[in-house]
């Protein structure tokens, strides 16, 4: 997999569909995105083309149909997007971000237990 491109919010929606099921045709992407978006099929095709141009997707033409596959991993894009968000909003510091979300957002017992488990594992690694 290659370096992660800068993916817009709309492009993320397309990428999530492709990461979930690939190779995937243009029509399959359109079918999955139309019910939950106010987009026209042409908009989705434009987003697919942008993602190909950015190096996030590859395509193969089979007759009249195009089939798409990711060139970047979802995990890597999420990691990069998270780092970018952390840098832009919290100056790169994790502690204020975690404090903000814990103080401002609803959190249930299961989430608290999972966070404790993760923190305990990380503290044992250090």
Pair (11, 72) in one structural domain: yes
pLDDT over 60 (residue 124)? yes
Pair (48, 87) in one structural domain: yes
Pair (69, 13) in one structural domain: yes
Pair (77, 101) in one structural domain: no
Q: What is the pLDDT of residue 69?
A: 98
Counting the structural domains of the chain, the total is 2
Pair (66, 125) in one structural domain: no
Pair (21, 66) in one structural domain: yes
Pair (86, 102) in one structural domain: no
Pair (44, 106) in one structural domain: no
Pair (81, 117) in one structural domain: no
pLDDT over 80 (residue 112)? yes
Q: What single string gives the DSSP state of each residue in 38-84?
A: ---HHHHHHHHHHHHHTTSEEEEEETTEEEEEESS-HHHHHHHHHHH
d(CA 41, CA 22): 19
Q: What is the pLDDT of residue 1?
A: 46
Tell me: the pLDDT tens digits for 22-62? Answer: 999 999 999 999 999 999 999 999 999 999 999 999 999 98
The model's pTM is 0.83
d(CA 59, CA 66): 6
Write the CATH number for 76.
Answer: 1.10.10.10
Q: What is the DSSP letter of 108?
A: -
Reported as half-sphere exposure (CB side, CA atoms, 13 A), residue 57 has a value of 31
**Sheet containing strand 57-62, strands side by side:** 24-25, 65-70, 57-62
pLDDT over 50 (residue 123)? yes
Pair (22, 79) in one structural domain: yes
d(CA 4, CA 78): 10
Q: What is the pLDDT of residue 2?
A: 56
Q: Which residues form the domain of 116?
A: 93-126
Pair (58, 113) in one structural domain: no
Pair (56, 5) in one structural domain: yes
Check if the beta carbon of residue 11 is closer than 8 Å to that of residue 72: no
pLDDT over 50 (residue 114)? yes
């Amino acid at each position: 997999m290659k370096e992660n491109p800068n993916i817009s919010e709309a492009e993320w929606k397309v990428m999530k569909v492709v990461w979930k099921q690939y190779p995937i045709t243009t029509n399959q992407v359109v079918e999955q995105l139309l019910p939950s978006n106010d987009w026209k099929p042409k908009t989705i095709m434009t987003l697919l083309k942008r993602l190909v141009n950015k190096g996030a997707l590859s395509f193969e033409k089979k007759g009249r149909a195009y089939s798409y596959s990711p060139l970047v991993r979802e995990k890597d894009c999420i990691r990069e997007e998270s780092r970018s968000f952390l840098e832009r909003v919290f100056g790169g510091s994790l502690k204020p971000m975690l404090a903000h979300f814990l103080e401002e957002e609803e959190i249930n017992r299961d989430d608290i237990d999972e966070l404790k488990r993760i923190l305990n594992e990380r503290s044992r690694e250090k």
